[in-house]
Structure 1
């Protein structure tokens, strides 16, 4: 009986890790900066200070903390989406939020 409980706990833990960390990576694709054109909506999810210090051309700055509200209120984009962030964690969180609303693949760039 105890072994069955441990197996169930292991399965639940594996499902949690898959949902939180692995599945967002399946619908995120890294893209080269030179490949980004007018065919994409470019969203910079870095904070205002980072985005101001090293701006990305034609990117709309929506910090990660403001993204849920922006998706509800003002976000209308019919093109594919490219995210800009300093870290993969921020991209993963933003992609998960956008994926819930848009149901499409999300690309990302990590600026140098």
Structure 2
């Protein structure tokens, strides 16, 4: 006997793949003891308030940009991902993305 499948597909939990990735990375770092969840919540709340994202949260880009900013702040403070290195890597990826033809794999250059 075959299992009954719903006639509809459930809505995705995350709007973008990177939302799920940054969420998963944060949870993993917390589980590894890199920071406490209460510290995360306090810092995240502050970042959300700074950006005015504390109203009508829908889990969209502005919410996850604040999530990523919070994670970057914590990792910079611990020395795990110093701000200047993160900025340089972000710039390198942006340059690689903009220089890559549509449909091709984006790769960082060795230089």
Does the alignment reach a TM-score above 0.5? no
Normalised by the length of structure 2, the TM-score is 0.26
Structure 1 length-normalised TM: 0.26
- Greater Cα radius of gyration, structure 1 or 2: 2
User: Which structure is richer in relative contact order (CA contacts within 8 A, separation 6 or more)?
Assistant: 1
